[in-house]
Amino acid sequence: MTWTGKLLHIHIAPEASHEMEEQAEAELVAGRGIVGDRYYLGLGTYSPKPDCREVTLIEREALDALSRDDPPMQGASIYVDPIEHRRNLTVEGVPLNHLVGYRFQIGEVILSGGRLNFPCQYLERLLDRPVFLPLYNRSGLNCWIEQGGIIRPGDAIIPLNEVTDKPHR
């Protein structure tokens, strides 16, 4: 894989269903998550079922497609601001669907792509917008944090082209 992406936004929520809060920087801790986030604190909707949700990402390009009514299944443009989509990191120029099972780096942090994040009715209810079908297969990536550190918007995202040894669930 040869590409270079960029981190655009960092968001956390202190508990399940709480509004997301934008961060100027964040500390990611291996095996835990983003300091201050609901999953780091064990208060996320899916916290009782541990998996690779230490940090979640979504592509800005997927949000742009929704605003263009692409694919044209929802009948109109849907606008979802980065602070609304419930993922921790909004990225640009990163092929998230291709990173399941691979390591990549954001700033000084190394992440391992765990599994695709599928949209759910919960997100549709929170947003009160029909995002379930249009976001199917492009709703982001759930990751493990292999090497912690600090990240900031503007940090480069680069593939390490290494297969991870973490489970994909």
CB 104 within 8 A of CB 144: no
Residue 134 pLDDT exceeds 60: yes
Segment 142-162, tens digit of pLDDT: 999 999 999 999 999 999 988
Segment 7-32, tens digit of pLDDT: 999 999 998 888 999 999 999 999 99
What are 5's two structure tokens? 């992406």
Cα distance between the two ends of the chain: 23
- Give the SS3 label for residue 129: coil
Residue 110 pLDDT exceeds 80: yes
Segment 62-109, tens digit of pLDDT: 999 989 988 777 678 888 899 988 899 999 999 999 999 999 999 999
Residue 58 pLDDT exceeds 70: yes
The DSSP string of 60-128 is HHHHHHHHTTSSTTSSS-----TTTS--SEEEES--GGGGTTEEEEETTEEEEEEEE----HHHHHHHT
CB 88 within 8 A of CB 37: yes
Per-residue pLDDT at 119: 74
Of 33-37, 47-51, 66-70, the one with minimum mean pLDDT is 47-51
Options 2.40.33.20, 1.10.3210.10, 1.10.10.10, 2.60.40.1840; which CATH number does 5-163 get?
A: 2.40.33.20
